Amino acid sequence: MVKERRFTLRLKVKRPSTDEAAVIYVVESFPKERGYASSDDLRKAYSRELAQKVARRSSEEGRDGAGKGRKERSASPAKVLEQEVVCRANGVKAEMPVFCLQMILRNYFSYEQLGQLRAVHPHWDEICGQLLNSGYYKLLERSDQMLMALQRKLPSDPSLHFPTSVLTNIQVHILNSVDIMRAVLDEGVCCFPYGVILDKTNALLDQVEFMMKGGDLEKIKWEPVALLAKKAALHYRTQLERTMEESTVSKLEKDANMARDELKWELEQLQQQNQQLRKDNRQLKMDHMRLESRVEILEQKFKTLARLLS
């Protein structure tokens, strides 16, 4: 009889940072990025990179902690790689939750970078597009609120005349230039593709807000952003508008077909219900005639009994 032998392998591994954990998630979720054929190749590449980082940190900690007593032992690159292999040995694929991906993209990337990250994956395209649209609507709301606040404070504080004029120019020359996309954005046909305009316009609004709070700025350069907005409007009219119109028409046709199919299905349901009601009506009429015949029979019996008793 062969005895089963069990043993336990204990490894002391340095806990990865938040960035390293995010890298592991991305490796497992999107294996074909950067031209890698499979997730194993991409995981090995990132594992080697992490191992090099851990080795550099270990050497730096060793130099910094020399002569200061006992220092904590750090994991070697080989152990880090071995631990990575052990963690993935069970075949369970780690997937990043959509909420975590949204939080990372929203908090750690600019709108211009979000526009570039749309090319990574169709899911990323959808999430980044939603964030770009949300940023555009937030920018419009923020500029309107700031302009109303400046108009209220301007009669009592003449020093706000300069930020008011700057904010007016921002709305007229920047936001109104790209407002031609508002219809397709509201219909959900596309997302706002010009993330650099959102970043630079938000920076201009930050400067205006700084002046509203008492700061002093000699000049706010909004003209380059206005030029970008004009180029974006021209690009949309010449390159995207026809495609958006076709997409809008196809979307309307799709909605019309869906409405037609739903109406047809409802008519079929009503016809089936009508047939069932007619069938039930015939059955009720037959039951009514049967009951009337029984009532007549009972009346005849009562009349016969009355004659016999009289």
pLDDT score recorded for residue 16: 46
pLDDT score recorded for residue 275: 92
Q: pLDDT exceeding 90 applies to what percent of the chain? A: 33
Asked whether the predicted pLDDT for residue 55 surpasses 60, the reply is yes
Greater confidence (300 vs 248) lies with 300
Give whichever of 250-254, 280-284, 306-310 has the largest mean pLDDT.
280-284
Instruction: Kindly state the average pLDDT of the residues 248-269.
Output: 84
Greater confidence (56 vs 89) lies with 56
Instruction: Tell me whether residue 140 is in a domain.
Output: yes
Rounded Cα distance, 61 and 74, in Å:
9
pLDDT score recorded for residue 33: 43
Instruction: Tell me whether residue 41 is in a domain.
Output: no
**What rounded mean pLDDT belongs to the chain?**
76
Domain of 234 in residue numbering reads as: 129-263
Instruction: Tell me whether residue 31 is in a domain.
Output: no
Instruction: Tell me whether residue 187 is in a domain.
Output: yes
Greater confidence (85 vs 96) lies with 96
Burial zone of 46 (CB within 10 Å; 0-12 exposed, 13-18 middle, 19+ buried): middle
How many domains does the structure of the chain reveal? 1
Residue 209 tokens, joined:
């807000």
Residue 104 tokens, joined:
């990372």
Which range among 34-43, 210-219, 287-296 shows the weakest confidence by mean pLDDT? 34-43
Instruction: Kindly state the average pLDDT of the residues 26-32.
Output: 43
Burial zone of 166 (CB within 10 Å; 0-12 exposed, 13-18 middle, 19+ buried): buried
Write the single-letter amino acid at 68.
Answer: K
Rounded Cα distance, 265 and 284, in Å:
28
What angle is formed at CA 82 by the lines to CA 77 and CA 87, rounded to 5 degrees? 125
Instruction: Tell me whether residue 143 is in a domain.
Output: yes
Asked whether the predicted pLDDT for residue 10 surpasses 70, the reply is no
Asked whether the predicted pLDDT for residue 8 surpasses 60, the reply is no
Instruction: Tell me whether residue 103 is in a domain.
Output: no
Q: pLDDT exceeding 70 applies to what percent of the chain? A: 68
Instruction: Tell me whether residue 42 is in a domain.
Output: no
Q: Residue 310: which pLDDT band, with cuts at 50, 70 and 90?
A: confident
pLDDT, tens digit (0-9, with 9 covering 90-100), for 237-254:
888 777 776 766 777 788
Q: Residue 57: which pLDDT band, with cuts at 50, 70 and 90?
A: low
pLDDT, tens digit (0-9, with 9 covering 90-100), for 113-125:
998 898 888 888 8
Rounded Cα distance, 300 and 57, in Å:
110
Residue 35 is given by DSSP the state G
